[in-house]
Amino acid sequence: MKKSFTLIELIFVIVIIGLLASFAVPKFMQTKASASSASAKSVVSSVRTAIETKHGEWMINDDLNQSYGYTPQGYPKKLDDASVNTAGQDLFGGFTAKKGKLQILKNPIKSCLDNDCWYKYKADNTDKNISYYAYKFTEEDNITLDYNGSNGKFECNNDGSISKNDCESIID
């Protein structure tokens, strides 16, 4: 007699595997989303720390000359010279001011237009010292943040698809 599985046994195994997968896949997707959110939050935290460091240097040096790349409040006017919607640009790495390069992060982040990436979504508003950034979680989900050089803070922008509360949890 040949030993093999019956059709009912195979169907039973397939149903069990399907049930297990139905529990595991959503949990996996939630874990991936949490990791992306933590990554974005880590970058924002690092950049905020660097901005505060630059502000502290400005205060210690009493450097009121704005040609060095600072606003009258002592924060960097902008965070980089990156191009809009372009991959491979150095984000948060600093920019060229009249008196040389004002470096923000020692190791800038490379922009990309794939998932789990930062990029500049709009040209800087140099009159108001505002820079515009986006983090793309997936094709449909992203956050948009505005850096305000007048107060050195990131603000959530409603252009992104992620809720304002989720966006604010990343910049807090």
Domains of the chain: 32-171 (3.30.700)
Any idea what DSSP says for residue 171?
A: H
Identify the residue with better confidence: 66 or 92.
92
Question: In this predicted structure, what is the pLDDT of residue 70?
Answer: 85
Question: In this predicted structure, what is the pLDDT of residue 150?
Answer: 92
Q: For the ranges 27-31, 46-50, 54-58, 81-85, which has the lowest average pLDDT?
A: 27-31
- 3 state DSSP class of 17: helix
Question: In this predicted structure, what is the pLDDT of residue 63?
Answer: 64
Bridging pattern class, strands 109-110 and 100-102:
unpaired
CB atoms within 10 A of CB 91: 23
Contacting residues for 138 by C-beta, under 8 A, at least 6 apart: 115
Alpha carbon 36 to chain centroid, angstroms:
9
Residues 35 and 12: their CA atoms lie apart, in Å, by: 35
Residues 153 and 172: their CA atoms lie apart, in Å, by: 10
Identify the residue with better confidence: 32 or 120.
120
Do the Cβ atoms of 109 and 94 come closer than 8 Å?
Answer: no
Highest mean pLDDT among 53-57, 70-74, 80-84: 80-84
Question: In this predicted structure, what is the pLDDT of residue 67?
Answer: 59
Question: In this predicted structure, what is the pLDDT of residue 1?
Answer: 61
pLDDT digits (tens, 9 = 90+) for 8-50: 888 999 999 998 888 877 777 777 777 888 888 999 999 999 9
> pTM for this structure?
0.78
